[in-house]
Chain A
């Protein structure tokens, strides 16, 4: 079974509008972390936001927020006030604390911001 699932291969959003990128995960480890990365066409992986499984509040970093619904095992990324520079691939990833520290990535969502 897939550990990280991103069901939206591609999405369009109008500039200045908000967009939600979906991510669901599967783990039996009670302690884990969820990450979102942005990958522009240059290929570099840019860390956006982190949510720990025991964190009580949803993480926020500037225009990025994470809608963490633990019971549903979802960790959707919300980008507010989209900008043209937000056009990129977005990857959700999980690290299970009992599985050796490495990140497992979802399939990614390509976001395209329309002017």
Chain B
């Protein structure tokens, strides 16, 4: 299977600071990247979809100025949580899409656990 890395795996920051999360597809190129957020004991909720070289499309209720997504290359996407607050504490998971033609496959990074104090 494809390998996806996320860094950092865990981060604790003070309220008001910004945090950048990197997601890399190590052995394939992903034109599309999905970013999910998962609160404790809840399901994964899609935050945004980004295509390489284009602006991300955000889901309803997700502030695009707060969650900055950069998908500058086919193997790297970043999510920056700006001016983080305690309510942003969550598990963030990136999910690159591998296009195989008829059957596209979505992989998942190992996740980043963000705690905002």
Contact = CB atoms under 8 A, between A and B. Distances in A.
Contacts of B113: 43
B43 A91 contact: yes
A99 B8 CA distance: 31
A101 B32 contact: yes
Contacts of A108: 42-43
B34 interface: yes
Contacts, number: 41
B50 to A, nearest CB: 11
Interface residues on A, range: 10 to 19
Given A43-B91, A45-B93, A100-B49, A91 B106 contact: no
A94 B5 CA distance: 24
A105 B106 contact: no
A44 B107 CA distance: 11
Interface of A: 37, 42-45, 47, 91, 95, 100-108
